[in-house]
């Protein structure tokens, strides 16, 4: 495929991620497994947008908005895109699954079905040659961001997410995965403008809230999530002898609300808890427990006794 037809295809797929050129099979790989500049453009745009901070400046309100939106959206990614849509670690209503899919979708990490199908693939092929983002196979940079631009990794493999592909509203979000981020950015701009007009004491305005709430917050959130694919397979300790190189890493767990306990997670991915002990900070788990108390979610899956037993014997063996 030449450069121009590739760029045209990317443009077309920004609106409809399921679009395939005439004659191609739906969901089929549309290119080689290598870095693709036209697919990198949205991420370049996100990073370049952060530089606008030199123009819009800052205010306490804008910074607090960026931090708050980081936390809320990191929770939506870890609790829902990951523990719910990818691993079915708890149950919830159709309404709540949609609400959290929309919140997570503002993160520019594509739609819920693409995210879950890609992640299910990761667990089946972790650190093997077929893993889409293994630092063991292709180094840090590829596992962190390179893989995300590869045309081979672009289509959603609906066969892997038949359970959630039964909901048309999720399929719609997944196909038009730029729609929610655009609306989110516009809403932030409008909110900033309204505050400037009606609450000038806050010292913020439309462009400033847009830059902090959309660009800066989203870029930090993106790298926080991507570190789990890259660093959490490189740096940290290993409690379980899994077939991959997954690690437990306290700092990554803090940054990602609990996802840093990645070796625990690769050993037993079906539970909603990733910090297996009280001292393994897992904020997503704490919030999920509160949501279960409130009746918003149910059937929260914890760590089974045989996994704790395995952890105990492996720790004893490591000490011996
Ligand atoms: Zn992993
Ligand atoms: Zn997982």
Number of neighbours of residue 6 by Cβ within 10 angstroms: 17
| Cα(258) to centroid(ligand 2), Å | 12
Condensed to tens digits (0 to 9), the pLDDT of residues 86-106 reads: 999 999 999 999 999 999 999
Name the CA radius of gyration of the chain, rounded. 20
Condensed to tens digits (0 to 9), the pLDDT of residues 107-133 reads: 999 999 999 999 999 999 999 999 999
User: How is the chain split into domains, by residue range?
Assistant: 3-319
| Cα(244) to centroid(ligand 1), Å | 8
Query: What mean pLDDT, rounded, does the chain reach?
Result: 94
Condensed to tens digits (0 to 9), the pLDDT of residues 166-198 reads: 999 999 999 999 999 999 999 999 999 999 999
Q: What pLDDT was estimated at residue 9?
A: 82
Between β-strands 91-92 and 297-298, what pairing exists: parallel, antiparallel or unpaired? antiparallel
On the CB side of 319, CA atoms within 13 Å amount to 6
* Rounded CA separation 231/14 (Å): 29
Residue 135 CB contacts under 8 Å (≥ 6 apart), including other chains: 142, 143, 144, 229, 230, 231, 233, 234, 245
Spatial CA neighbour of 311 closest among 236, 259, 240, 249 = 240
Task: Answer for the pair 177, 112: CB distance below 8 angstroms, yes or no.
Answer: no
| Cα(274) to centroid(ligand 1), Å | 12
Task: Answer for the pair 117, 156: CB distance below 8 angstroms, yes or no.
Answer: yes
* Rounded CA separation 235/250 (Å): 10
Ligand nearest to the Cα of 227, by number: 1
């Amino acid at each position: 495929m030449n450069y121009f037809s590739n760029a045209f295809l990317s443009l077309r797929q920004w609106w409809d991620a399921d679009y395939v050129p005439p004659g191609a099979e739906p969901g089929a790989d549309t290119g080689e497994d290598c870095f693709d500049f036209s697919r990198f453009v949205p991420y370049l745009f996100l990073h370049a947008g952060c530089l606008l901070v030199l123009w819009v400046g800052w205010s306490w309100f804008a910074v607090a908005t960026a931090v708050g939106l980081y936390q809320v959206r990191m929770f939506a990614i870890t609790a829902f895109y990951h523990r719910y849509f990818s691993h079915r670690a708890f149950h919830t209503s159709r309404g709540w699954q949609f609400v959290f899919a929309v919140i997570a979708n503002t993160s520019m990490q594509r739609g819920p079905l693409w995210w879950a199908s890609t992640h299910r693939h990761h667990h089946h092929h972790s650190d093997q040659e077929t893993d889409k983002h293994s630092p063991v196979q292709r180094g840090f940079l590829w596992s962190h961001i390179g893989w995300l631009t590869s045309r081979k990794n672009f289509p959603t493999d609906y066969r892997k997410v038949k359970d959630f592909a039964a909901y048309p509203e999720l399929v719609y979000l997944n196909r038009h995965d730029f729609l929610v981020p655009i609306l989110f950015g516009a809403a932030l701009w409008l909110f900033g403008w309204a505050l400037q007009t009606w609450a000038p004491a806050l010292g913020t305005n439309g462009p400033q809230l847009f830059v902090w709430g959309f660009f800066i917050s989203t870029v930090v959130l993106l790298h926080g999530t991507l570190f789990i694919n890259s660093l959490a397979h490189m740096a940290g300790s290993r409690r379980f002898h899994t077939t991959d190189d997954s690690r437990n890493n306290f700092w990554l767990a803090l940054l990602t609300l609990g996802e840093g306990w990645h070796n625990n997670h690769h050993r037993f991915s079906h539970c909603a808890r990733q910090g297996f002990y009280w001292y393994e900070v897992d904020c997503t788990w704490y919030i999920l427990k509160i949501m279960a108390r409130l009746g918003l979610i149910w059937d929260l899956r914890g760590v089974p006794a045989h996994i704790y037993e395995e952890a105990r014997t492996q720790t004893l063996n490591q000490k011996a």
